[in-house]
């Protein structure tokens, strides 16, 4: 079974600076999806960025980018020009494509989360 | 368009009681998944329903059950509540028509068991 590990329980950064959140995962499959979700104190889980394992190019969404190292099974999130609104719990998550391995139904497996605080 | 909605927002129960949580998916979404998020941890998968059938089940006891209705809304039931069932219960809906099953989350129901 796949596992997702986030080794940084808490991180902090000054407004306008850059911060990187780490994530490692374990799987024996070659085709899968990786995600970073943001959960602010309001509790709503919001998708930040997605990476398909078959794509070598790292995904980018505005100030958010990832460093996907497939061989090392590493998937870090870089937040540039941090804003106060970025303060939240961030989760790394993993999903197999529907039907992968004959049993996948597209469930998400989450890491333990990293609390990010952006200071003014 | 309305997002995923869940009710109630908060719920307080005592040990041994039963609880029902409700979820309405985004219009057009036929799949609903349930996750349990204990305070300070990542969500754990409980169930996935698609076209009113259970498609996947996580490692949860039989006290947990769910169903999906013809309008694709869903209920999660938990019987014989334990203190450890206190958590945020998240519902996520998806179209489930491609390899990529993007899930959209609701705001959750906070369950407290006393």
pLDDT of residue B16 exceeding 70: yes
pLDDT of amino acid B96 = 73
pLDDT of amino acid A98 = 75
CA distance A23 to A20: 10
Residue in A closest to B91 by C-alpha: A45
Report yes or no: B77 and B60 within 8 Å, Cβ to Cβ: no
Tell which residue, B25, B13, B106, B114, has the closest CA to residue B69.
Answer: B25
pLDDT of residue B93 exceeding 90: yes
pLDDT of amino acid A43 = 78
Question: Which of A44, A98, A113 lies at the smallest CB-CB distance from B101?
Answer: A98
pLDDT of residue B1 exceeding 70: no
pLDDT of amino acid A116 = 97
Query: How would you write chain B as a 3-class SS string?
Result: CCCCEEECCEEEECCCCCEEEEEECCCCCCEEEEEEECCCCCCEEEEEEECCEEEEECCCCCCEEEEECCCCCEEEEECCCCHHHCEEEEEEEECCCCCCCCCEECCCEEEEEC
Residues in chain B: 114
**Local confidence pLDDT in tens for the 120 residues of chain A:** 679 999 999 999 999 999 999 999 999 888 899 999 999 987 789 999 999 998 889 999 999 999 999 999 999 999 999 999 999 999 999 998 776 554 567 789 999 999 999 999
Distance from CA of B51 to the nearest CA of A (A): 13
CA distance A99 to A33: 13
Tell which residue, B4, B74, A105, B112, has the closest CA to residue B65.
Answer: B74
pLDDT of residue B86 exceeding 70: yes
pLDDT of amino acid A101 = 53
Residues of B in contact with A110 (CB under 8 A): 42-44
Distance from CA of B68 to the nearest CA of A (A): 16
pLDDT of amino acid B60 = 96
Distance from CA of B94 to the nearest CA of A (A): 10
State whether residue B105 sits within 8 Å of chain A by CB.
yes
Report yes or no: B90 and B105 within 8 Å, Cβ to Cβ: yes
Burial (CB count within 10 angstroms: exposed 0-12, middle 13-18, buried 19+), residue B90: buried
User: Which among B36, B37, B42 is the top mutation candidate for probing chain A, defined by the most A β-carbons within 10 Å of its own β-carbon?
Assistant: B42
Tell whether omega for the bond before B8 is within 30 degrees of 0, i.e. cis: yes
Region B96-114 average pLDDT: 87
- Strand, helix or coil at A85? helix
Q: How many CB atoms lie within 10 A of CB A6?
A: 19
Confidence of residue B102 (pLDDT cuts 50, 70, 90): confident
pLDDT of amino acid A100 = 58
8-state DSSP, A9: S
pLDDT in tens, B36-53: 999 989 999 999 998 889
CA distance A110 to B7: 24
pLDDT of residue B11 exceeding 80: yes
Q: How many CB atoms lie within 10 A of CB A3?
A: 12
* Contact (CB<8Å) B102/A97: no
pLDDT of residue B99 exceeding 90: no
Question: Which of B31, B96, B105 lies at the smallest CB-CB distance from A44?
Answer: B105
Report yes or no: A59 and A65 within 8 Å, Cβ to Cβ: yes
Confidence of residue B95 (pLDDT cuts 50, 70, 90): confident
pLDDT of amino acid A104 = 63
pLDDT of residue B30 exceeding 80: yes
């Amino acid at each position: 079974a796949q596992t997702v590990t986030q080794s940084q329980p808490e991180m902090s950064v000054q407004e306008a600076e850059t911060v990187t959140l780490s994530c490692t995962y374990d799987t024996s499959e070659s085709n899968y999806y990786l995600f970073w979700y943001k959960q602010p104190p309001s509790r709503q889980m919001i998708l930040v960025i997605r990476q398909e394992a078959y794509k070598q190019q790292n995904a980018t969404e505005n100030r958010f980018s990832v460093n996907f190292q497939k061989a090392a099974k590493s998937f870090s999130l870089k937040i540039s020009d941090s804003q106060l609104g970025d303060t939240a719990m961030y989760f790394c998550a993993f999903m197999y494509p529907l039907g992968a391995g004959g049993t996948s139904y597209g469930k998400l497996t989450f890491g333990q989360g990293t609390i990010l605080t952006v200071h003014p | 368009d309305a997002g995923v909605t869940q009710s109630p927002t908060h719920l307080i129960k005592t040990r041994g009681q039963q609880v029902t949580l409700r979820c309405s998916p985004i219009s057009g979404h036929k799949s609903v998944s349930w996750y349990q998020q204990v305070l300070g941890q990542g969500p754990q998968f409980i169930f996935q329903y698609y076209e009113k059938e259970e498609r996947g089940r996580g490692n949860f006891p039989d006290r947990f059950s769910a169903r999906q209705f013809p309008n694709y809304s869903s209920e999660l039931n938990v019987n014989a509540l334990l203190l450890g069932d206190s958590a945020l219960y998240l519902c996520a809906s998806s179209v489930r028509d491609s390899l990529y099953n993007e899930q959209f989350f609701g705001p959750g129901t906070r369950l407290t068991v006393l």
